[in-house]
Amino acid sequence: MKKLLASLIAATLFTIGAATSFASDTAPGSVIHVVTVSWKADATPEQIQAALDGVKALPAAYAGITRVWVKTLKAQGDRTHAMVMEFKDEQALKDYTKSPAQLEWYKVYLPVRERSTTFDITN
């Protein structure tokens, strides 16, 4: 009985250790920057597309951005679009603020943005 109990405890500890190890192996150190946006009423489809195209161009303009997503499949509330930027780490996100790449993108984005909400997420 003691051997069975010891075996069960050992198996449980092994399973917990493996799960913890797996979770840390799959948890990226990057930062996901999620922006939900509603556009101004007078924003044209071309202006909105220019803002989204500007997001797609950001990785070429700023090395700290590794990936972007701009195709909204579902939106809730008064937000019609979401944009996601993946930064290589927290420092890259901090350095992006007021960078030439951000300021250039803002030239097409801010004139047509009504409201937005931002979430920055990491592990």
| Domain of 104, in residue numbers | 31-121
Give the span between the Cα atoms of 35 and 76, in whole angstroms.
13
Is residue 3 assigned to a domain? no
For residue 77, give the DSSP letter: T
Tell me the backbone φ, ψ of residue 36, rounded to 5 degrees. -105, 140
**Domains of the chain: total:** 1
Tens-place pLDDT, residues 76-114: 888 999 999 999 999 999 999 999 999 999 999 999 999
Instruction: Establish if 108 belongs to a structural domain.
Output: yes
Question: pLDDT for 42-56, tens place per residue?
Answer: 999 999 999 999 999
The CATH number of the domain holding residue 76 is 3.30.70.100
